[in-house]
Amino acid sequence: MKMACVLTIVLFATVGCNDNGSHVTAELNENASLSGNLPYNPLQWRVITTAINKQDSTMYTLYGNDVAIQYARTNSQNDYPVGAVLALVMWRQRDDSRWFGAKIPDRVKSVEFVTVGPGEDRRPSYSYQDYEGAPLKKTAAHEGLVPNERAAYLLSQRAAVMP
């Protein structure tokens, strides 16, 4: 009797673990890639924070270079040091065909950069650039000792708490 139970369990375990060819293959989301003449590739940087706007079906990720990441994770102010570069990538969303109800990035809507450089009298200088379209093209730029409204908004984003 014991032997029959053991054989039954082994049989079910073997059949349950059988690969019948129904596996999911990984796909690269080509729609979400960046195209155009950008000064940096922010997708190679680390994430500072992310958000979703359900009203206009967009999602964004704020990336930072090493200087920006170090500052964002250790400070709560928005006075980034010289050498920091932030990039906000905004995507339109689409339904995920693999997970009911989920949304994933679709086409890139815009990429914005804020660069903190050396200014006069040891004060930082701010450069803001906005890229839109397909391929991405520069549509706006601003430089000065004071960040413009959009650059100030990006600099004010707090880093997400990560384990």
Reported as a single tens digit per residue, the pLDDT across 7-51 is 555 545 555 555 555 566 777 777 788 888 999 999 999 999 999
Single-letter amino acid, residue 156: S
CB 45 within 8 A of CB 72: no
Q: What is the DSSP letter of 2?
A: H
Identify which of 12, 108, 90, 110 has the alpha carbon closest to the alpha carbon of residue 50: 90
Single-letter amino acid, residue 71: Y
Reported as a single tens digit per residue, the pLDDT across 100-137 is 888 888 899 999 999 999 988 888 999 999 999 999 99
Full-model pTM: 0.80
Q: In what order do the strands lie in the sheet with 46-53?
A: 46-53, 58-64, 85-95, 103-118, 124-132, 137-144
